[in-house]
Structure 1
């Protein structure tokens, strides 16, 4: 199966929820490039899938998963195809609906936590995009939560409007539909009821809207957030230049 781009989606053998951030209009009248690619876990990739990444000039992968996740679901050796993998865990203790201790407070509250506990990971993403050759793919497990925050930060930095950022986030639920039949039985086996298990794959618009409000109220913008977590002005400029054309 060759790489097929349907809208922004990339069909890889085998990965889910893979799509670039290109083609979105910006406030400056430009358009986002396809340099940055978001994805769910790549542990299912075949050799052909790795070849497809290399054909798309993806030379760097940023993995937001924890050590335990990486050990459990190992990504095939991408170095054979000239692709380096940068490990940048957003958290080490599971903060998803599956791993959250006690009552899950909702994604908006958890995403606000990600901005704090994941500061080093998001700083690594900014710095990697600024310096890397070729395209950069970033991912977590489902490509929705940790990855969704990263995509929102990049799109906001590029000057994409909030409605479009929210729409990009909600597309995840549609693209993860093929995984539902696999994930829901597994979650039920772990003792989670149907509603909480289904929440793993949900991407409600209101959660990203609330996250963007939090970003504005606490930091002002993705650019100010990047500065607050230690990203240099030169790096911010370089990232914006790579993201827009």
Structure 2
């Protein structure tokens, strides 16, 4: 059974799936939606030191769904994934409107994050750009929306790589998922977005693709920057206005 089929089966049945984090052929690129490249579930990651996993179907990360198919819409509704958080800026949204923004049955939230919407000036600047995303005023609004959502949530930026990658990393870290497993989740974008990266290189040959393509060192350095300035991920959440009560709601949303 292909990786995507296993994930979908686990989602339907409420079972755990990921027990080994590797990049074997059984973990080939997949997207939960047929019209996107990088829609993935944050469920199935082990909470360090326990036998519990983050729950499937609760919080989904994605690139933007500009033209969702009827099958995509049905999948999202059938699984109660109807709170949609769009983190793209106004220019990105004007250029390519979100396909779920005005659809009946979806609760669409326009929460733009300017940080991370452009390409950093160098490879070394990527972790700093992630740090800026983590401290964005509107990222706190994203977390508050997730905490208060009455349905399951899908959040997106444009490619599901940087803004979505930082958001995913912080959510998983807050839940107690190991850093190596968070990096594994981050690096899956490298496989999923291979087609997108090729197009960027063809259209913008002067761009250093080492800046654009995910590198595990970027995420590890991001962790270091957070710990150097805040000590713990919980302290970061506190610093951006997500208190212990809201943190507990987020963890409950993803883990209970």
TM-score by length of 2: 0.82
- Quick one: structure 1 residues 5 and 213, their matched pair in 2 at CA, closer, same or farther if it must change by over 3 Å? farther
Whether 2:162 is the aligned partner of 1:139: answer: no
Contact 2:115/2:129, CA 8 A, preserved across alignment: no
Contact 2:88/2:111, CA 8 A, preserved across alignment: yes
Structure-1 separation of matches of 2:119 and 2:110: 19
Written as runs of structure 1 = structure 2, the 5 A alignment for 1:222-233 is 222-233=233-244
Alpha-carbon offset, residue 178 of structure 1: 2.7
Alpha-carbon offset, residue 183 of structure 1: 3.0
The partner residue of 2:165 within 138, 148, 154 is: 148
Written as runs of structure 1 = structure 2, the 5 A alignment for 1:81-230 is 81-91=104-114, 94-97=117-120, 105-116=124-135, 118=136, 120-188=137-205, 192-193=206-207, 196-197=208-209, 199-200=211-212, 202-230=213-241
SS, match of residue 49 in structure 1: helix
Aligned residues: 230
Q: For CA contacts below 8 A with separation 6 or more, give which structure has more relative contact order.
A: 1
SS, match of residue 177 in structure 2: coil
Indicate the larger mover: 121-130 or 134-143.
121-130
SS, match of residue 106 in structure 1: helix
The partner residue of 2:251 within 227, 240, 243 is: 240
Aligned to 1:32: 54
Aligned to 2:73: 50
Cα deviation code 1:6-64 (max 9, x no counterpart):
44854313011111111111135121112111111111323432232212211111111
Structure-2 separation of matches of 1:77 and 1:167: 28
Alpha carbon RMSD of aligned pairs, Å?
A: 2.2
TM-score by length of 1: 0.85
Q: Structure 1 stretches of 5 or more lacking a match?
A: none
Alpha-carbon offset, residue 79 of structure 1: 4.0
Structure-1 separation of matches of 2:180 and 2:230: 19
- Quick one: structure 1 residues 48 and 182, their matched pair in 2 at CA, closer, same or farther if it must change by over 3 Å? farther
